[in-house]
A = this chain, B = another copy of it.
Amino acid sequence: MRADARRNRERIVACALELFAERGPGVSMEELAREAGLGVGTLYRHFPDRRALVEEIATSALRSMAAEIRALSAKDLSRWDVLTQVVTHCTEQPLALVKSIADGGDEIPPERHALQNEVDGLLRGLVKAVQDEGTMRGDISPAEAVEIFSTAVCRPGARAGDAVTRVMLDGLST
C-alpha cells in the first residue's frame, strides 16, 4: 500500500472518530470526507460502504476501550481512582462515539456485540469493586451506574472534568 494511501486511511478513521463523537451518528459521508480534506471517492476506496467504515471505527474503539479499562484496572490505585480515570478516558474518546453509533439503527454484527458485552462486563465489574471498596454508594446497581456514566459521557460536547461529570462522580461517592 502506498504511503499516502495509508496516511489518508488513518486520517479518515481519526476524523470519523472525532466527528461521530461530537455530532453523533448520521454525519454524512460527504462531511466526513470534507473534514478529512479528501474527496468522497477516497472514502469508498478505503471502505466498501458506510457500514464498513462505521464498523471499523466502532470495533477498534471498543477494543481500545476494553484495553484501557484493563490497563487502568491493573494499576496500583484505589478502585475509585481507577473509575475516575476510566470516566475521564471515556469522555475524551471512545464510549461516547460507540454509543452514538450503536444508536444508529443498524443491526449489531456479532463481533461488535461481543465487544460491547465485554466492555459492559468490565465496567460492571469495576463498579462492583468500587462499591466493595466502600468508596461508592451501594444503593445503585452496576447496571444503573453504567447508565449514569453513559448519560454523563455520551453527550454532544462532553468534556473531561466538566460540571456534569464532576457532579455525577460526587453523587456516586460515599
User: Is there a chain B Cβ closer than 8 Å to A172's Cβ?
Assistant: yes
**Within 8 Å of chain B (Cβ to Cβ): is A168?**
yes
Give the segment of A40-48, A49-57, A140-148 that binds chain B.
A140-148
- Identify the closest chain B residue to A155 (Cβ): B151
Interface residue SS majority, chain A: helix
A171 part of interface (Cβ distance < 8 Å): yes
Residues of B within 8 A of A29 (CB): none
Cα A81 to Cα B169 with chains together (Å) = 22
Closest to A163 in B: B144
Known contacts being A151-B152, A152-B151, A155-B151, is A140 close to B168, with CB within 8 Å? no
Interface residues on A, range: 10 to 19
Report how many copies the assembly holds. Answer: 2
Chain B residues whose CB sits within 8 angstroms of the CB of A167 once the complex forms = 140, 148, 168, 171-172
**Which residues of chain B have C-beta atoms less than 8 A from A76's C-beta?**
none
A164 is an interface residue with CB less than 8 A from chain B: yes
| A170 at interface, CB cutoff 8 A | yes
Q: Which of A120-164 contact B (CB under 8 A)?
A: 140-141, 144-145, 147-148, 151-152, 155, 162-164
- Report chain B residues within 8 Å CB of A145: 163
Contact of A171 among B141, B151, B170 (CB under 8 A): B170
Bound-complex Cα distance A144 to B166 (A): 11
**Interface residues of A, Cβ cutoff 8 Å to B:** 140-141, 144-145, 147-148, 151-152, 155, 162-164, 166-172
